[in-house]
Structures are given as C-alpha cells and as structure tokens.
C-alpha cells in the first residue's frame, strides 16, 4: 500500500490534506490528475447506474439533515465499530479487520475492544 500511495503522490493524484501544517492522518486531497480521474469515474458510474436505467433517477441530497432522518434510518444506533488500540505504538484498528490479535504495525499487544460511534455530532446555525 505504501508503494501505491507513494506513486499516487509523485504522479499528482493525491496529497496529504493539510500537509504543510503536519497533515491529518487518513485525509487526502486530490491533485490535478486525481481530480480528473475522480471526475471520470464518477461520470462513468452515474451514466451506468442512473442514466442508462429506466428504474433509477438521480438525487443529490445534503449530508446535514434533521436528526430525525438519521434516527429513522438507523444511523444513530447502528453506526459503530469495535476498535482496538496497540499498547505500544497507540495505532487504532477496527477489530474485525485484524487477522491476528496483535498490532499489524509493530506486533504489540492490543487493548480490549471498545465501541466507537462513527457518526459525529455537528451543529448548524447559532
């Protein structure tokens, strides 16, 4: 994976978000080539899944919605992952992604699983 990320960075597909300020782990910005690739993939998907079918219509909604929408859809109660943390290097991992009960980065011992809610609270307006 590191080789692929390195190649994508060198070729202008992606850059670490906020890189000149130390970056933000797991967040990437699209470079000039990445923007075009993303646009082309999105257009091909839209054409195939929406435009070429008679039983599908396009819809683009806001991510921020009334909280009742998220409650009714089950997002509020069901969007959580079991996480473990390495006691040595403090990297965190989704428990169900691990093949072994040790840290993939350093081989260290992992903590017990704890649930991490993946829906983040946000505020709109004053």
Reduced to 3 states (helix: H, G, I; strand: E, B; else coil), residue 33 is: helix
Calculate the average pLDDT of the chain: 92
Q: What pLDDT sits at residue 40?
A: 98
Q: What pLDDT sits at residue 118?
A: 84
Q: What is the pTM (predicted TM-score) of this model?
A: 0.59
- 65-88 mean pLDDT: 91
Q: What pLDDT sits at residue 100?
A: 86
Give me the torsion for CA of 15, 38, 33, 5, rounded to 10°: 40
- 84-110 mean pLDDT: 92
Instruction: Quote the DSSP letter at residue 120.
Output: P
- At 27-47, the pLDDT tens digits run 999 999 999 999 999 999 999
Taking alpha carbons only, the member of 29, 33, 26 closest to residue 12 is 33
Tokens of 69: 């929408």
- 44-55 mean pLDDT: 98
CA separation for the pair 63, 26 (Å, rounded): 20
Tokens of 5: 């990320």
Tokens of 123: 């505020």
E strands within 17-123? 28-30, 80-85, 92-94, 114-117
Confidence of residue 18 (pLDDT cuts 50, 70, 90): very high
CA separation for the pair 106, 122 (Å, rounded): 35
CA separation for the pair 118, 71 (Å, rounded): 14
Q: 85 with 42: CB under 8 angstroms? A: no
Q: With pLDDT > 90 as the criterion, what percentage of the chain qualifies?
A: 71
Q: What pLDDT sits at residue 82?
A: 94
Q: What pLDDT sits at residue 49?
A: 97
């Amino acid at each position: 994976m590191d080789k692929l990320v390195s190649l994508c960075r060198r070729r202008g597909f992606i850059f670490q978000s906020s890189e000149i300020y130390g970056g933000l782990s797991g967040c990437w910005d699209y470079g000039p080539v990445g923007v075009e690739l993303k646009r082309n993939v999105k257009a091909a998907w839209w054409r195939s899944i929406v435009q070429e079918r008679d039983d599908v219509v396009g819809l683009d909604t806001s991510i921020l919605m009334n909280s009742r929408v998220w409650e009714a859809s089950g997002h509020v109660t069901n969007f959580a992952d079991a996480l473990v943390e390495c006691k040595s290097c403090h990297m965190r991992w989704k428990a169900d992604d691990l093949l072994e009960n040790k840290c993939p980065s350093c081989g260290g011992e992992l903590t017990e699983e704890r649930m991490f809610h993946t829906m983040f609270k946000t505020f709109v307006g004053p």
